[in-house]
Amino acid sequence: MKKLLKGGVIVGASGCRKADLLIDGERIEAVGEALSCPEAEEIDVSGKLLFPGFLDAHTHFDLEVCNTVTADDFYTGGRSALRGGTTTVIDFACPNKGETLHTGLARWHEKADGKTGCDYGFHMTIDDWDDGIRAELPQMFDEGISSFKMYMTYPAMMIGDEAMFHALREMKRLGGIVGVHCENAGMIDALIAEKKAAGALSPASHPLCRPAEAEAEAVGRLLKLARVADVPVMIVHLSTAAALREVEAARGLGQKVFVETCPHYLLLDDSRYSLPDFAGARYVCAPPLRKKLDNERLWKALADGEIQTVSTDHCSFTLAQKDAGRGDFTKIPGGMPGVETRGTLLFTYGVAAGRITAERMADVLAETPAKLYGLFPRKGVLQPGADADIVVYDPRGTSCITAADQAANVDYAPYEGTQIAGHIAEVYLRGTCVVREGKILHDRNGQYLHRGKCML
């Protein structure tokens, strides 16, 4: 049956307008004023904002790391995503050292296919480099993978400057894009050794061992490699004003550089690591939380268009899992949940607070990531022919983030007690309402009402 959403405000990167939206099956049939369709179910969305379904291009579901596995797999992670208005995630398929790219991709398909409620795709992690990996890259494109990730830290994942340069050259030849985790591994290892020798093993040592300079140096080094390779790159989860200065310098030389940040780098600061009773472990992530001045600089960059996307780096662990690092902060699994709260936080502290416009929010959460990762115009925009992925946001009133009221498979909330402006009233995935007033809708057997689809 067709659905007609009447009286809302359509929000897109290019503007907002009051209009009706007609859904036919999984796609948008029409957007316009005073639409009429006698056979459609009419739904009143007066006073509400209609955003394109959000895309989160940086999640880690069902990831084996730090001798454990992330708390959210594709089933619970998909529930959390939908509840937060994210209708599509792009996760990272991660082969282990010595494995082929195809092995990693097949394992991630096994983790995700038929198990999640949101649509999904994959980036491919390159954590090894040899002739075999190079030969596999064209086949990855044939299988729908055109975006890749590399690390400049973590021994199990980093490949070194020479191998990274070769990989960047291949991206230039093949037309792919690489996102890079930028931190100076040697500096971090040296600082960790100093803290351990001094017996400073609490979470408060975590940000001291991964200073802003470690990120900025790695960003600058990557951008010099990319300049010689003549290829655009994405800086993932950028967290500091210092790293942003490196990006500004490269752009001044004519380089194309894309930047992603995360809500926790906009809203939280490193004072969290000094919370009593090991509570600081909840906020251990890499790069770590920074200073309030960094928060404000990133907000300005977001408003000015210097930052292109806001993802979450959703990498969730329970408090019991975080407890593995009591007595040694380096053993705390790094990461936080975030896919459920990204949209409401960005609306509250961005749009409602006057830091960014609603159009900018639609751009960084939907349209630009859809364009970067090959999903536009099917995703990321509310226009005829696009998937009917819609977030109906009611800006009136307030709501509150609590651990007790979340779909993520974790027993704490990084933003516990945070007041939110308005709330997500409904979420549509390819024309089906899958969330209403915070409740994830199910069929009579308690299963997902609408299964996610692989977008590769």
pLDDT at 444 over 80: no
Whether 372 and 309 have beta carbons less than 8 Å apart is answered as yes
pLDDT at position 446 is 74
Kindly list the strands in the beta sheet with 309-310, ordered across the sheet, starting from the edge strand earlier in the chain.
Answer: 54-59, 86-93, 119-125, 147-151, 177-181, 233-235, 257-261, 309-310
5-24 residue pLDDT tens: 999 999 999 999 999 999 99
- Provide the β-strand partners of residue 424: 393
- For residue 324, the SS3 value is helix
**Helix spans in 143-262 (H):** 161-174, 185-197, 205-209, 212-229, 241-252
17-60 residue pLDDT tens: 999 999 999 999 999 999 999 999 999 999 999 999 999 999 99
pLDDT at 443 over 90: no
| CA proximity to 159, closest of 111, 255, 256, 225 | 225
pLDDT at position 86 is 98
Is the pTM above the cut of 0.95? yes
308-350 residue pLDDT tens: 999 999 999 999 999 999 999 999 999 999 999 999 999 999 9
The Cα diameter of the chain in Å comes to 74
Model confidence at 450, pLDDT cuts 50, 70, 90, reads confident
Model confidence at 144, pLDDT cuts 50, 70, 90, reads very high
Quote the distance between the C-alpha of residue 129 and its chain's center.
Answer: 26
The CA distance from 353 to 356, in Å, is: 8
- Provide the β-strand partners of residue 18: 9
- For residue 223, the SS3 value is helix
- Provide the β-strand partners of residue 435: 427, 440
Task: Give one word for 268, left, alpha or beta, with left for phi > 0 and alpha for psi -120 to 50.
Answer: beta
77-100 residue pLDDT tens: 999 999 999 999 999 999 998 999
Whether 388 and 10 have beta carbons less than 8 Å apart is answered as no
